[in-house]
Chain A
Amino acid sequence: MTGIKIGQYVHGDSFLHSLDPRIKIICCIVIMVSVLINYSWYYLLFHLLLIIMAIKASGLSFRFMSGCLRSIRYLLLVTFVLQIFLTPGEAVLSLGRISISQEGLLIASINLLRLLILFFGSLLLIMTTSPIKLSAGIEFLLLPLNKLNIPVHHFTTILSISFRFIPTLIEEATIIKNAQRSRGAQFDSPNLIVRLKSYMAIIIPLFEASLLRAEELGEAMDSRCYTGHPNQLRMSSLKLMGKDLVLLGFMFLVLGIGISISLGSS
């Protein structure tokens, strides 16, 4: 319990918290599609502005959200560096045989912006939607697959159990890490091999504990006569409000504009 973990649901009563989970999931997908089909600067910057407004409306601190970028810093760095060097075009800077092209800089910046929008969009979804609401939303949206004989309720049960145990696993990993640190495990060693070996001292007991827990949970579910069936009670608790529909309409409008701009430019 040392701080809020990235991706952990943060309890609150903000505007974003009060939205219907189905709408939040759809909006998140709409944002993903929007930023992938249209890569014009102003369109992406508009989305970034939307994300900033969403962070404000979520009640989460900007400092914490920007701190989350640390976890994907290498992905961002590698994406940016590879694209500025590997995209052919008019060279703006040459370092021996390799050169940075103007097109590379542009594409790298656009892709960086896209990644940031996708990252913060999904982060806001999972940090403002409780695991129960999230799995109910997913179950509702996947219901049509039942007609194809795909057992959606089993899938969502697995999903909700996973969501339920994420905080437990994080807490357990923290305890094991502290226990190994008390025996001199060097998680901060500058030597990568030493660091990797130290992390093995967390991964092995954590796996063992997870497997044991899975077995115990299975037995507990069996002993309470668990049979897979759609969770009607959970799904019937979902209620669409006016603000949900307004937001959904707005996001589809933004998507529509994006598609028409893309079609127009091509």
Chain B
Amino acid sequence: MPKIIDVKELDFIYMPGSPYEQNALKNISFSLDEGEFLGIFGPNGSGKSTLVQLFNGLLSPGRGTVTVCDTDTADKKLRQQLWKKVSLVFQYPEQQIFQISVYDEVAYGPRNLGISETEVRQRVYLALEQVGLIPEETIGVTPISLSGGMRRRVAIAGMLALNPEILVMDEPMAGLDPIGRKLILDIINNRKEHKLTSVMTSHNLKEIIAIADKIAIMDSGCLVFFGAVSELLENNNILAKYRLELPDHIQLLSALAERGLKVNTNIRSLNEAALEILRLLA
């Protein structure tokens, strides 16, 4: 499987040589296969947002290398074109909205790609549908008249309309209602079905454990864990140290296993857990 993100011995320092110098990332190395979904966890200030800004070339690596979609992000010219392949949805993306209509807002990115207006229109309609909005009803609406949650959908549609090879979302669920949170998960599931890569930073392991392929846990700029979800579930030290709360059904299976019952603990979704318990009862 080709590596779509390859990070080697990465260091990143903010304001080097100044009184405010801050070593944001320290010796980070990992790689991600194409089509996988990576969840990045860690407390505030652990370096999650800095790391994802290196994926789409907004920042350049201080030391080490970051190769994304076969592009070395240390090269300024190549880095500046990376937005065409990697879409980064910032925290509270609704704050970046500036156009007078939803259509123009979603079309801003595709228009910058230089594609025809017909294709722009197709992409806008498709992106709005992907975020659960009805294009015919929303394209003419002024974004400022929408609620916060709806505006975030519009902002995310603006990034989806770029048809990115990698979709990176920086805490997209912060402040969203349950419907909005489910929508984000649906978008990632949809991308997984189409073998498209996604990355998401979050504080809530419960929400994405069922669909994540790889998990990265960061602390004070260091990558303290990187691996498959099954490896994380076996690593009680990391789970306890970072107080990563697992979904109730996984906790139940682990508790049953601890009591000596022969139960498969390598299960993530609620349905699988229900089937496993039924099997046990039978």
Q: Which A residues form the contact surface with B (CB < 8 A)?
A: 1-4, 10-12, 61, 172, 175-176, 178-186, 188, 200-201, 204-205, 208-209
Contact = CB atoms under 8 A, between A and B. Distances in A.
User: What are the 8 closest A-B residue pairs judged by CB atoms, nearest first?
Assistant: A184-B112, A183-B109, A204-B98, A179-B96, A182-B88, A179-B90, A1-B14, A178-B58
Interface in B79-109: 80, 83-84, 87-88, 90, 93, 95-98, 108-109
A223 to B, nearest CB: 22
Interface stretch (B15-23, B61-69, B119-127, B175-183): B15-23
Interface string B109-140: 10011000000000000000000000000000
30 contacts: A1-B22, A2-B14, A3-B15, A4-B18, A4-B20, A10-B19, A61-B17, A172-B95, A175-B95, A176-B95, A176-B96, A178-B90, A179-B93, A181-B83, A182-B87, A182-B88, A182-B90, A182-B159, A183-B108, A183-B112, A183-B162, A184-B84, A184-B109, A184-B113, A184-B162, A188-B80, A201-B96, A201-B108, A205-B98, A209-B95
Contact of A186 (B53, B58, B97, B112): B112
B246 interface: no
Nearest to A186: B112
Nearest to A180: B96
Given A4-B15, A182-B159, A183-B158, A205 B83 contact: no
B18 A12 contact: no
B19 A12 contact: yes
B189 to A, nearest CB: 23
A185 B97 CA distance: 13
Contacts of A209: 95
Contacts of B109: 183-184
A200 B159 CA distance: 19
B56 interface: yes
Contacts, number: 70
A185 B15 contact: no
* Interface-centre pick from B20, B22, B113, B159 (highest chain A CB count, 10 A): B20
A205 B58 contact: no
Contacts of A205: 95-98
Given A178-B53, A182-B88, A209-B95, 18 more contacts: A1-B20, A4-B15, A4-B18, A10-B18, A10-B20, A178-B88, A179-B93, A182-B83, A182-B87, A183-B158, A183-B162, A184-B84, A184-B108, A184-B112, A185-B112, A200-B98, A205-B97, A208-B144
Nearest to A63: B17
* Interface-centre pick from B14, B53, B96, B144 (highest chain A CB count, 10 A): B96
A214 to B, nearest CB: 15
Nearest to B93: A179
Contacts of B14: 1-2
Nearest to A8: B20
A195 B88 CA distance: 21
Contacts of A3: 15, 18
* Interface-centre pick from B19, B22, B158 (highest chain A CB count, 10 A): B19
A176 B108 CA distance: 14
Contacts of B96: 176, 179-180, 201, 205
A95 to B, nearest CB: 38
A201 B98 contact: yes
* Interface-centre pick from A2, A182, A186, A205 (highest chain B CB count, 10 A): A182
Contacts of A4: 15, 18, 20
Contacts of B17: 61
Interface string B2-42: 00000000000011011110100000000000000000000
A131 B10 CA distance: 36
A133 B18 CA distance: 22
Nearest to A212: B95
A182 B56 contact: yes
Contacts of B88: 178-179, 182
A172 B112 CA distance: 23
B58 A181 contact: yes
